[in-house]
Amino acid sequence: MSKLFKRFLFVIVGLMGLFILVSVARYFFVDANIYKTRFEKTASDALGMDVQIGGGLKIAFLPGLHVKLHDLHIGNREMDVVSAKEASLAISLLPLIKREVRIRRIALQNPRITVKRDRYGAFNFGKRQAAKETFFTLVLKKISLSDGVFIYQDEESGEGFEMGNFNLDVRRLRHVGVHNAAFMKKLSFTAELTCRNIRVQKLMLSDVKVTCKGKDGIFAFNPVTMRLFGGQGSGSVGVRFSDPVPRYSVRLSLSKFRIEEYLKTLSAKKVAAGSMDFSANLSMQGNTAKELKQTATGEALLRGENLTLYGHDLDREYSRFKSSQNFNLIDVGAFFFAGPIGLAVTKGYNFASLFQGSKGSSSIGMLFSDWKVERGIAQERDVAMATKKNRMALKGGLNFVEERFDNVTIALIDARGCARLQQRIIGPFRKPVVEKPSVPMSLAGPVINLFKKAGNLITDEKCEVFYSGSVTAPK
C-alpha cells in the first residue's frame, strides 16, 4: 500500500469519525437533559453522595467531552456540601479506556462549600455508601473556582472559619487512587488562592493571598500574605501528610498592626493607640485541633513602642497608691496579651478597669512580650513594659491545651527589678480567678512607705529580683 493511499485512507476515516462525533454532539446538545437522571445516578455512585442538577445539562464531544451543569448540588445526609450556580467539565476521551480520568478543566461559578466535622471526628462529606471505585488515577490539568464561599465548622472544638469572595486556581492536580491509602498522601498540585476576607472567630483577615505547591502529600504554602488589625501579615505554612501523623510548621509575622483595631475585639471604646509587631514560629502534629494544641512547640514575640493608653494616667495612679487594692494590675496587663495569640486569653476576662478609665492618658515607651511554647503551653521569657516613670513585668504561663492561666503574676517593679506590688491571675481563660494586689513579704512596713515619691522605692531593702529582661527602667 503506497504512502499516498495510506494518507488518503487516514483522511477519509478521520472525516467519517469527525462526522459521527459532530452528529452525536448535536444530538446531545439538543436532548442532553434526557440523560440528566443517569448522570446524577452515576455521579452519586462514584462520589458516595447525592448529586442533583437543578437546572439544565449540556454535553459536547469536540475537541473532548464537555459537560456543563446549572444549579449543581452535591450533598450528604440531606445537607449540601458543595453547590454551584454553574459547573463545567472538560474530559479527555481516550484515557477512559485505560481506566484513567483525565480532566482537562473544571470550573465552578459561585460555589458554596460547607465542611463540618462532628464531635466523633466524622466529616459531612464522608461516604453514605460504598462508592464505586471505577478509576484508579485522577489527572486534572486545571480547576478554577470563582466568587466562592467556604465554611468550615468543627463541633468537637467549637472552632471554625469562613472564607468569603474567594478565587482558586489549581493546576496539575494528580491523585493515584490506591486502595486503603490516605487521600492526602497521594495528592499533588500547585494552586493560587485570593480571598477578600476570612473570619476566624473574632479575627477578620482581608486581602488574603496564598501560593501552594505540593507533591505526594508534602505541601508548602509560601508565601501567605494578608491584612489583619490594619497591619501587613506574611508567612508560610508547611504540611507533611506523608508522615504517619500529619506535621505542620507555621511562620507568621504581622508588622505595624494597630492596637486600637485589636482592642475593638474586646470593646467598642477606644482604649489605646499605636502600632505593634508580632511574630510566631510554631511546629505541631496531629489529626485534630486538640492534638495540634497539645504538640505545639516554638516561640512568639510581641513588641511595641510609643503606645498611648487612654483613660488612665498610670504614673499618677501609681504615685497616689495608698493601699494594695486601689489599682488592678491585671487590667493593664492585657497589653501583654495583645495580638493574635491574646484573643484566646482575653475572651473570658473583660479587663473592666482598662475599658472604664476616663482620666488622663499614659505613654508606654516600650512593650516587650517574648514567649516560649512547648506542648501547647506558652511560658514567659521576657515580658515587661515601661511608662515614663514605672515598669510592669509578668511571670507565668498560658496553657492553651487546658485553656487556663498557669500561675500568671503581674508586678510593678523598681529600678532593680524587684516587685513593689504584684497580683496573680489563675484558672480558666473563660472564668479566671483574679487575686487582690499584694506586697511581697520581703518588703517591710506599711504599703504607703513603699514610695518616697512617684515610683521610687527605698533602696536599702533586700528583695528577690522579679524581672531582669530587656525593658530598662525609666530614667
Chain segment 230-260, per-residue pLDDT in tens: 999 999 999 998 888 899 999 999 999 998 8
pLDDT surpassing 70 at residue 457 = no
Please choose, from the candidates 212, 206, 253, the residue with its C-alpha nearest in 3D space to the C-alpha of residue 226: 206
Q: What is the per-residue pLDDT for 134?
A: 47
- Residue 3 in this model has a pLDDT that exceeds 90: no
* Model confidence pLDDT, tens digit, residues 36-83: 777 777 777 767 778 888 888 777 766 667 788 889 888 886 788 889
In this predicted structure, what is the pLDDT of residue 449? 44
Give the closest residue to 103 by CA, choosing from 85, 93, 90, 116.
90
**Among the three residues 134, 167, 200, which one is the final residue of a domain in this structure?**
200
Buried b (16+ CB within 10 A) or exposed e, 226-244: bbbbebebebebebbbbee
- DSSP, collapsed to helix, strand or coil, labels residue 465 as strand
Question: Do 250 and 163 share a domain, yes or no?
Answer: no
Q: What percent of the chain has pLDDT over 90?
A: 32
Domain span at residue 44 reads: 31-200
- Strand ranges (E), 387-437: 391-399, 404-413, 419-428, 433-434
Among 138, 171, 200, the domain-final residue is 200
What is the rounded CA–CA span in Å between residue 364 and residue 370?
17
Could you check whether the bond before residue 432 is cis, i.e. omega within 30 degrees of 0? no
CA distance 327 to 403: 26
Do 190 and 329 belong to one domain?
Answer: no
pLDDT at residue 326 greater than cutoff 70: no
State the number of CA atoms in the 13 A half-sphere of 421 facing the CB. Answer: 28
Reply yes or no on whether the pLDDT at 366 is more than 60: yes
**Alpha carbon 324 to chain centroid distance?**
41
| Residue 1: inside a domain | no
Model confidence band, residue 101 (pLDDT cutoffs 50, 70, 90): low
* Of residues 455 and 305, more confidently modeled: 305
The pLDDT confidence band at residue 12, using thresholds 50, 70 and 90, is very low
Residues 297 and 407 in one domain: yes
- In total, how many domains does the chain have? 2
Are 341 and 393 contained in the same domain?
yes
Report residue 279's pLDDT band, with 50, 70 and 90 as the boundaries: very high
Last residue of a domain, one of 168, 200, 232: 200
Query: 350: which 3 cell numbers?
Result: 473583660
Question: Which pLDDT band, with edges at 50, 70 and 90, does 10 fall under?
Answer: very low
Does residue 337 contact residue 262 with C-beta atoms inside 8 Å? no
pLDDT tens readout for residues 183-236 = 677 788 999 999 999 998 777 899 999 999 998 889 999 999 999 999 999 999
Q: Where are the alpha helices (DSSP H) in 205-313?
A: 259-263, 289-295
Picking from 88, 154, 151, the residue whose alpha carbon sits closest to that of residue 123 is: 154
Taking only the tens place, the pLDDT of each residue in 125-146 is: 765 554 454 445 667 788 899 9
pLDDT value at residue 248: 96
If pLDDT is split at 50, 70 and 90, which confidence band does 418 have? very high
pLDDT at residue 322 in the model: 47
> Do 282 and 171 fall within a single domain?
no
pTM as predicted: 0.75
Report yes or no on 26 lying in a domain. no
- Write out the three cell numbers for 226: 494578608
Task: Give ∠ CA 467-469-475 in degrees, rounded to 5.
Answer: 85
pLDDT at residue number 85: 92
Paired strand residues for 114: 151
Which range (16-30, 147-161, 167-181, 359-373) has the least confidence?
16-30
Shared domain check, 287 and 383: yes
Is the pLDDT reported for residue 172 higher than 70? yes
pLDDT-based confidence at residue 356 (cuts at 50, 70, 90): low
Q: How many CB atoms lie within 10 A of CB 330?
A: 23
C-alpha cell at 77: 445526609
Neighbours of 138 (CB within 10 A): 16
The per-residue pLDDT of the chain, averaged, comes to 78
For residues 72 and 183, state if they share a domain: yes
In the predicted model, is pLDDT for residue 16 greater than 60? no
Is the predicted pLDDT of residue 166 greater than 90, yes or no? yes
Are 59 and 186 within one domain? Answer: yes
Same domain for 293 and 163: no
pLDDT at 350: 55
Nearest to 234 by CA among 256, 217, 216: 256
Q: What is the pLDDT of residue 386?
A: 92
Tell whether 396 and 294 lie within a shared domain. yes
In this prediction, residues 100-119 reach a mean pLDDT of 82
pLDDT confidence of 445, banded at 50, 70, 90?
Answer: very low
**What letter would DSSP give residue 458?**
P
Residue 184 domain flag: yes
Query: What was the pLDDT predicted at 52?
Result: 86
Residue 277 has pLDDT above 90, yes or no: yes
Say if residue 402 is in the same domain as residue 317. Answer: yes
Asked if 272 and 413 sit in the same domain, the reply is: yes
259 with 273: CB under 8 angstroms? yes
